[in-house]
């Protein structure tokens, strides 16, 4: 325990935390590999048992590595189906990246495979790279602490977000594909009639009306489809193409949220991971003063506020300074364009914790349709300035009907690889020509956001960038290991329809 900070120690030893909830602290010196297994587990979701997948062998906060500790894992597949885990945010040798047949096959049931590489600090996560398995919660936090994290007098709190359905993921995908994604409400079926004259219309926009989403965030003009090149304010976009049964923070809903014991006047580093299949969240710290300090595990110039958003695959580190008094501070995650919410509670010892409804009174706005949040993020460690060797445009397309999503007009299997040579400075321009947002994730690299709708910025370092409808985001990177790296949308139903290509790096000349 000697490497834990005072607050970390206090939190970890609090009576509220059973042994199973203790963080998995592993020490750097001479340690054996950590054993993890992909397995089934049972959750209680609002009083109803749910059998889901998960990674066993971890504490409640996920896998936590200390500074200098290598990523040494023996992964065993205890499921009765093949699986493979991607270490999202890490840059392992390509053979350990965890994508089916790229280049390693799925682990067969009962198989164990070893992983060993240098861990990159920050808030990251790990998940099955089979979309239906990720939708079944085969995912967990992966936190690598920096020396600064260890020295700082602050308490780490992990907030791992997911969306959940009691239905099998294949059934969920079939419903989305058939245009019944939002079909939970009476009379909703009438809203999903194909609108042949408006290819961008359909269920998402209609669902938004059900949820009152269009009255917020400058998303008026419900009925009409915008013209190309129009501004976001007059646009009807498609949000939330599926109504999930529950929204989870650390596997719990607001009917029984995690209550994290904190100190009066304490400083919290909230590590938020959006592991949802298809839900963008706003993090709302309510009455607690907060600042955003890292995106996707990379430090940004601190940005003050009480509400920050993140798309699927993304992470945010938010520092919170608690007042010098006792109390309870809910940290909520709001589903964009809707009233549903989830979250956890920070509470001092003995504080009264009030039950919160899992529906807000008003819908949260759509996230970052104008890239306003992204524009405010500035990397602390920008990429070194150098000439660009290669630029590539990636057109993001697709529609709700038929439900198919593409990169450069192609689905996976018909794609043209995006090519580069090792060491080249490459700029990728994601141009979203569709009415849904796409969080685009590149494996094996860290990129910097350098352009937002044509305006140059010295933006955040990331591995997953949110590209809103009818928007363009440029990212710069230095091409890494000569290998085939996945480049895909992190919306699982989009990925399942084939919204993936490859960044094919060849050896330098
Ligand atoms: Cu997408």
pLDDT in tens, 12-25: 333 333 333 334 44
The pLDDT assigned to 508 comes to 83
Rounded distance from Cα 343 to ligand 1 centre (Å): 25
Rounded distance from Cα 76 to ligand 1 centre (Å): 30
pLDDT band at 241 (very low <50, low <70, confident <90, very high): confident
The mean-pLDDT minimum among 227-241, 388-402, 413-427, 441-455 falls in 227-241
Q: Residue 126: pLDDT above 90?
A: yes
Domains and CATH numbers, the chain: 6-165+245-348 (2.60.40.420), 378-506 (2.60.40.420)
Q: Residue 182: pLDDT above 90?
A: no
Rounded distance from Cα 362 to ligand 1 centre (Å): 26
pLDDT above 70: percentage of residues in the chain = 83
Q: Burial of 362 by CB count in 10 Å (0-12 exposed, 13-18 middle, 19+ buried)?
A: exposed
Rounded distance from Cα 445 to ligand 1 centre (Å): 20
- pLDDT 10s digits, 64-94: 999 999 999 999 999 999 999 999 999 999 9
| E strands in 217-350 | 246-249, 259-262, 267-274, 281-284, 289-295, 298-305, 307-310, 315-321, 328-335, 341-348
The pLDDT assigned to 359 comes to 97
Q: Residue 492: pLDDT above 70?
A: yes
- pLDDT 10s digits, 280-339: 999 999 988 899 999 999 999 999 999 999 999 999 999 999 999 999 999 999 999 999
User: How far apart are the C-alpha atoms of 98 and 125, rounded to whole Å?
Assistant: 13
Q: Residue 342: pLDDT above 50?
A: yes
**C-alpha 446: how far from its chain's center?**
15
Q: Residue 133: pLDDT above 60?
A: yes
Helix (H, G, I), strand (E, B) or coil at 386: coil
The pLDDT assigned to 59 comes to 76
Rounded distance from Cα 495 to ligand 1 centre (Å): 7
Residue 54 dihedral angles phi and psi, to the nearest 5°: -175, 175
Cα dist. 375→280, 372, 400 in Å? 18, 5, 29
The pLDDT assigned to 223 comes to 29
The pLDDT assigned to 445 comes to 98
Q: Which helix (H) or strand (E) holds 120?
A: none
Mean pLDDT confidence for 238-263: 96
Q: Residue 208: pLDDT above 70?
A: no
Rounded distance from Cα 243 to ligand 1 centre (Å): 17
Strand partners, 40: 53
Rounded distance from Cα 442 to ligand 1 centre (Å): 13
Rounded distance from Cα 45 to ligand 1 centre (Å): 27
Q: Which residue has the higher pLDDT, 193 or 244?
A: 244
Rounded distance from Cα 326 to ligand 1 centre (Å): 43
Q: Residue 250: pLDDT above 50?
A: yes
Rounded distance from Cα 435 to ligand 1 centre (Å): 10
Rounded distance from Cα 177 to ligand 1 centre (Å): 14
Rounded distance from Cα 490 to ligand 1 centre (Å): 6
Rounded distance from Cα 437 to ligand 1 centre (Å): 6
Rounded distance from Cα 408 to ligand 1 centre (Å): 13
The pLDDT assigned to 30 comes to 54
Q: Which residue has the higher pLDDT, 180 or 250?
A: 250
Q: Are strands 34-45 and 71-77 parallel, antiparallel or unpaired?
A: parallel
Rounded distance from Cα 130 to ligand 1 centre (Å): 16
Rounded distance from Cα 484 to ligand 1 centre (Å): 21
pLDDT band at 58 (very low <50, low <70, confident <90, very high): confident
User: How far apart are the C-alpha atoms of 217 and 241, rounded to whole Å?
Assistant: 18
Rounded distance from Cα 167 to ligand 1 centre (Å): 22
The pLDDT assigned to 236 comes to 66
The pLDDT assigned to 180 comes to 75
Mean pLDDT confidence for 407-416: 97
**C-alpha 122: how far from its chain's center?**
14
| E strands in 233-314 | 246-249, 259-262, 267-274, 281-284, 289-295, 298-305, 307-310
Mean pLDDT confidence for 392-417: 96
Q: Residue 41: pLDDT above 80?
A: yes
User: How far apart are the C-alpha atoms of 509 and 64, rounded to whole Å?
Assistant: 39
What the block records as the tokens of 262 is 């904190």
Q: Which residue has the higher pLDDT, 2 or 407?
A: 407
The pLDDT assigned to 504 comes to 98
What is the length of the chain? Answer: 509
What the block records as the tokens of 122 is 């920050």
Rounded distance from Cα 312 to ligand 1 centre (Å): 10
Rounded distance from Cα 39 to ligand 1 centre (Å): 28
Mean pLDDT confidence for 1-8: 38
Rounded distance from Cα 222 to ligand 1 centre (Å): 22
- Write down the pTM of the prediction: 0.86
User: How far apart are the C-alpha atoms of 232 and 237, rounded to whole Å?
Assistant: 9
Rounded distance from Cα 322 to ligand 1 centre (Å): 37
Question: To the nearest whole number, what is the mean pLDDT of the chain?
Answer: 86
């Amino acid at each position: 325990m000697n490497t834990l900070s005072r607050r970390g120690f206090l939190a970890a030893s609090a009576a509220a935390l059973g042994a199973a909830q203790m963080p998995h602290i592993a020490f750097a010196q001479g340690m054996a590999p950590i054993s993890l297994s992909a397995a089934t587990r049972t959750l209680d979701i609002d009083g109803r048992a749910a059998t889901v997948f998960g990674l066993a062998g971890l504490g409640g906060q996920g896998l936590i590595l200390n500074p200098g500790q290598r990523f040494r894992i023996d992964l065993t597949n205890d499921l009765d189906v093949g699986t493979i885990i991607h270490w999202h945010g890490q840059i392992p040798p390509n053979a350990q990246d965890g994508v089916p047949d790229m280049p390693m096959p799925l682990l067969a049931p009962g198989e164990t495979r070893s992983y060993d590489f240098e861990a990159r600090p920050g808030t990251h996560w790990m998940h099955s790279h089979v979309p239906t398995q990720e939708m079944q919660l085969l995912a967990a936090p992966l936190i690598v602490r920096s020396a600064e994290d260890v020295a700082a007098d602050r308490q780490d709190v992990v907030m791992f977000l997911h969306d959940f359905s009691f239905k099998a993921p294949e059934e969920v995908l079939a419903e989305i594909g058939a245009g019944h994604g939002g079909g939970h409400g009476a009379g909703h079926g009438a809203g999903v009639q194909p609108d042949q004259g408006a290819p961008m219309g359909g269920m998402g926009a209609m669902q938004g009306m059900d949820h009152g989403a269009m009255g917020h965030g400058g998303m008026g003009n419900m009925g009409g489809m915008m013209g190309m090149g129009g501004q976001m304010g007059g646009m009807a976009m498609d949000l939330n193409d599926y109504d999930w049964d529950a929204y989870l923070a650390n596997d719990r809903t607001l009917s029984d949220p995690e209550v994290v014991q904190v100190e009066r006047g304490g400083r919290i580093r909230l590590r938020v991971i959006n592991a949802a299949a298809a839900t963008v969240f706003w993090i709302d710290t309510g009455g607690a003063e907060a600042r955003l300090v890292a995106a996707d595990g990379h430090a940004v110039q601190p940005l003050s506020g009480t509400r920050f958003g993140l798309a699927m695959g993304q992470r945010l580190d938010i520092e919170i300074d608690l007042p010098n008094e006792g109390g309870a501070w809910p940290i909520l995650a709001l589903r964009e364009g809707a009233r549903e919410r989830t979250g956890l509670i920070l509470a001092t010892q003995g504080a009264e914790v009030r039950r919160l409804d899992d529906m807000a009174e008003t819908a949260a706005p759509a996230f970052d349709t104008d890239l306003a949040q992204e524009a405010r993020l500035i990397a602390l460690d920008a990429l070194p300035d150098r000439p660009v060797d290669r630029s590539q445009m990636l057109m993001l397309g697709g529609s709700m009907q038929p439900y198919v999503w593409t990169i450069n007009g192609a689905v996976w299997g018909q794609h043209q690889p995006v090519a580069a040579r090792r060491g080249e400075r490459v700029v990728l321009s994601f141009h979203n020509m569709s009415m849904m947002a796409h969080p685009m994730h590149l494996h094996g690299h860290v990129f910097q956001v350098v352009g937002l709708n044509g305006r140059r910025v010295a933006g955040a370092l990331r591995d997953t960038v949110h590209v809103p409808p009818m928007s363009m985001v440029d990212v710069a990177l230095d091409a890494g290991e000569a290998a085939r790296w996945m480049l895909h949308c992190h919306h699982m139903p989009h990925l399942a329809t084939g919204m993936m290509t490859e960044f094919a790096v060849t050896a330098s000349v």
